[in-house]
Structure 1
Amino acid sequence: MSYLVMFVSSAILSLILTPHVIKLAYKLNAIDVPKDSRRVHKRPIPRMGGLAVFISFCIVSIFSLKLDLTLVGLLLSSLIIVFMGMVDDIKTLRPVSKLIIQLFASILLILFGIKIKSLSIPFMGVDKYINLGFFSVPLTIFWVVGMTNAFNLIDGLDGLASGIGFISSITLFIISILTSRYLSSVLTIILAGSCLGFLYYNFNPAKVFLGDTGSQFIGFILASISIISAIKYYTAFSILASVLAFGVPIYDTLSAIIRRKLNNRPIMEADRGHLHHRLLDKGFSHKNVVIIIYLISMVLGIISIFTIVLPSSISVFLFISAATLLVFWKVLNKNYRDQLYNK
C-alpha cells in the first residue's frame, strides 16, 4: 500500500467517523460548556472527537503494517490514553489521576521495547552516542508524558491541536523518509491523514473538539513514534529534530510552567496565559491566531528537517538559533511582565 493510499484512506475514514463520534458525544454528555474566561467558544460543543482520529489511525495501521510487538505495544498503550481521555471528557478526572494513567501507559510502551536507548553527541561524528542504560526509562517516561500533556495544553482554539498534529506528523514523515525509517514513515502519514480528516469538522467554527481523548492521543503517539524512529539511528534522527518538530507545544508548556511557578499556582492548574490567549488579547481573530501558530509550527518543522540533512555542527546552530529567537520574542514582547504574572 502506497503512502498516498494510506494518507487518503485514513483521512476519509476519519472524515466518515467524526459525525458518528459527535452523536456518541451527545449521548454520553461529553459536552464542553463555556463556563469560564479560558474558553473562547460561546456555545456548548461536543468533545471526545479525538476518538475518530484514534480509530482511523488504528484501522489503517493494522491493514498497512505487520502486527508485530512494536505495533501491538503502540496501539495498546495508546488505547489506555484514549480511554482515559474519554472518561475525562465525560466526567473530569483529577490531574493526579491522569498523570498516573499516563505513567502506566508510558511504562507499557517501555515493556514493549519502545524507549530512548541512546542519544547522539553533536560534533562528535556519526557513530558517537551515549548509551543511557538505566536512565533510558525515566527519560522515555519524561518525554512521552511531557509531550502528551504539551498537546493537551495547546488544545485551546478550534483546529489548533489537530492542525499542529497534522504539521508535526508531516514533519516526522519527511524526516522518516530521509532516514529510511519505514515503520515511522507509515505511522506518521496515517496519523497526518487522520488529523486532516478530523480537521474538516474541527476548524473554526468547530462542530466538535478533540477533547482530552484526541489531544492526549496525538501527543502520546507522536512522542512514541519519534522514539521508534530514533531506535538504532541516533545521529540522523537526533533529539534536536524531535524537539523542533514539536516546538510550539513544548514552548507553550514551558511558558505555562514558569508562569504558574512565578504566580505560586499549581503547575497542573489551568489559566488563560497560553500563546493563543496572548495573541487573541492582542486583537487577532480566532482564525488568524490559529494560522499564525500553524506558520510558526511549519517554520520549526522545516528547521527540524534541515537538522537531519545538514552536518551536526550546523544542525546544533539552527536549533540554538530557533530557541534563541523564541526566547527573544518572549522577552521583547511589551506585555512580557503581564504574561508572567497573569492572574
Structure 2
Amino acid sequence: MLYGIVAAVAALLMTAVLTGFVRKLALRAGLVDRPAVRKAHTRPTPHLGGVAVVAGTVTVVCTGYAPLGPGIAPLLAAAGAVALIGLVDDLKPLGARPRLAVETGAAITVVYGSGLSVAAAVLAVGWIVLITNSFNLLDNSDGAMSTVGVVTALGLALCAAAEGRASLALLLCVLAAALTGFLTQNWHPARIFLGDCGSLFTGFVLASAAVLVHTGHDALPSAVGLFALTVVVTADTALVLLSRRRARRPVFIGGTDHVAHRLRRLGFTVPGAAVVLGAVAFAGVLTGVLVHRGVMGPMAVTPLMLAMVAGVWGLLKVRVYAPAGGRRPARPRVAKVAHPRSPRTAARRSRTAADLARG
C-alpha cells in the first residue's frame, strides 16, 4: 500500500515538472495549436503535454518505484509504440491508416496469450482500437480528457486489485497520478494540451487494462462492464459519428461538435463541462466496478444506457454546424421609406437639373 502511494506521488510530481519543461520547449519550437482550433483560447497553446504523461508513467514504473509484474512489460511496450506514433502525428500529421495499423498491432500484442477464444480476441482487438481513438477524440476541451482518464484509471485499478493483478493496478494508479500532475496545467485556461501522444497512450492503456481485468468472466457481464467503464468516450464518439453522418461531413476531420462543445453552447463554462464529464464518468465507473464485483447484475447498466441514449439524442439537437457552404444567412432587405422633401429643397434640385440640361 505504502509502495503504491510513493509511486503515485512520484509520478504526479515528475509529470507536473516535466509538463512545464515540455511546454517551454514546445513554445520555442512553435509546436502549438492555433486559437482557431481551440476556440476557448485566444493565443497559441502547446500540444505536446502527452510526452510528459508518458515519460512520468513509464519512468516511475520502470525504475523500481512500481516494479513490472507479469504481463505488464508487453502492455507497456505496446502502449509505447502507440504513444510514439501519436508523437509522430503531433509533429507531422499522418493519415488514419498508419495509426490504425500500429494500434491494431499493439492491441494484438496485449490480447495474445490472454486466453481468449479467437472470436473474443478479434472483438477485443477491435474494441481496444475503438476506445483508444475515442479517448483521442475526447481531447478537445480543457481538462475534459484528463479528468475522465483519472476517474477511469482509478476504477480499473480497483477491478485489477480485485482480480489479484497487483502490478496492473499499480500501473493504473501511476497513470492516474501522472494525469493529475498534467491536469494542474491542463485545467482551464489550459497552458498545454495532451496531443495525440498522450491521449492515444492513455486510451490504449485504459482499454487494454479493461479487457485484461474482464478476461475469464462471462460474456454478458464483461460486455456490460466494458460499456459502463467507458460510457463517456463511447457517448462522445457516437455523438460525433451520428452528427457528422447526418451533416455529410468527413468523419476524420476535427470539429467543434463534441459533447464538451455542445455543453458550452448550452451555457456551461469550460471547467463546468469538464466537471459534468467527470461526474458521468464516475457514475459509469462505479456501475462498472459493482457489476465486475458481482454486487450488481448486468441489468443495472440499463439506466446508464438509457441516459446515454437520451443524452446523445438531446445533444444532437444543439446546433454546431454553420450553414452549407459556410455562408451566413442572408440579411432581410429593408424597404426604403421615401421622406417628404421640403419645398425649398425641391426647388433647388429642379433649378440644378435645368442648368445641367442647358449646358
For normalisation by structure 2, the TM-score amounts to 0.82
Structure with higher RCO (Cα < 8 A, 6+ apart) = 1
RMSD between aligned residues = 2.4
Matches within 5 A, 1:75-224: 75-111=76-112, 113=113, 115=114, 117-118=115-116, 133-224=117-208
Of stretches 283-292 and 90-99 in structure 1, the one that deviates more from structure 2 is 90-99
Deviation at residue 218 of structure 1 after TM alignment: 0.6
Residue aligning to 1:20: 21
Residue number among 262, 265, 276 corresponding to 2:249 in the alignment:
265
Deviation at residue 172 of structure 1 after TM alignment: 0.9
Deviation at residue 147 of structure 1 after TM alignment: 1.0
Query: Deviations along 1:275-332, whole A, 9 cap, x unmatched?
Result: 1111111111111111111111111122222213345xx421111221012212333x
Unmatched segments (≥5 aa) in structure 1:
119-132
**Distance 1:140-1:24 versus aligned 2 partners, 3 A rule:** farther
Query: Deviations along 1:181-212, whole A, 9 cap, x unmatched?
Result: 31221111111111111111111111111011
Query: Deviations along 1:223-246, whole A, 9 cap, x unmatched?
Result: 111222233455798232232121
Q: Does 1:6 align with 2:41?
A: no
8 A Cα contact 2:50 2:195, kept in partner: yes
CA distance in structure 2 between the partners assigned to 1:66 and 1:230 by the alignment: 23
Matches within 5 A, 1:27-66: 27-36=28-37, 39-62=39-62, 63-66=64-67
Which amino acid in the other structure matches residue 265 of structure 1?
R
Residue number among 214, 217, 236 corresponding to 1:252 in the alignment:
236
**Distance 1:67-1:288 versus aligned 2 partners, 3 A rule:** closer
Deviation at residue 32 of structure 1 after TM alignment: 0.9
Q: How many residues align?
A: 321
CA distance in structure 2 between the partners assigned to 1:19 and 1:75 by the alignment: 24
Residue number among 215, 227, 240 corresponding to 2:224 in the alignment:
240
**Any idea what SS the aligned residue of 1:239 has?**
helix
8 A Cα contact 1:256 1:274, kept in partner: yes
Residue aligning to 2:260: 276
Deviation at residue 94 of structure 1 after TM alignment: 2.0
% same residue: 26
**Any idea what SS the aligned residue of 2:287 has?**
helix
**Distance 1:223-1:177 versus aligned 2 partners, 3 A rule:** same
**Any idea what SS the aligned residue of 1:35 has?**
coil
Residue aligning to 2:269: 285
8 A Cα contact 2:70 2:167, kept in partner: no
CA distance in structure 2 between the partners assigned to 1:9 and 1:41 by the alignment: 31
Residue aligning to 2:291: 307
Q: Does 1:323 align with 2:311?
A: no
Of stretches 258-267 and 43-52 in structure 1, the one that deviates more from structure 2 is 258-267
CA distance in structure 2 between the partners assigned to 1:266 and 1:207 by the alignment: 29
8 A Cα contact 1:184 1:226, kept in partner: no
Residue aligning to 1:123: none
8 A Cα contact 1:175 1:237, kept in partner: no
8 A Cα contact 2:11 2:60, kept in partner: yes
Greater Rg by CA: 2
CA distance in structure 2 between the partners assigned to 1:242 and 1:18 by the alignment: 31
**Distance 1:237-1:25 versus aligned 2 partners, 3 A rule:** farther
**Any idea what SS the aligned residue of 1:156 has?**
coil
Which amino acid in the other structure matches residue 15 of structure 2?
S
**Any idea what SS the aligned residue of 1:141 has?**
helix
CA distance in structure 1 between the partners assigned to 2:118 and 2:319 by the alignment: 39
Of stretches 259-268 and 298-307 in structure 1, the one that deviates more from structure 2 is 259-268
CA distance in structure 1 between the partners assigned to 2:260 and 2:248 by the alignment: 22
CA distance in structure 2 between the partners assigned to 1:339 and 1:146 by the alignment: 26
Which amino acid in the other structure matches residue 51 of structure 1?
V
Query: Deviations along 1:141-171, whole A, 9 cap, x unmatched?
Result: 2111111111111111111111111010111
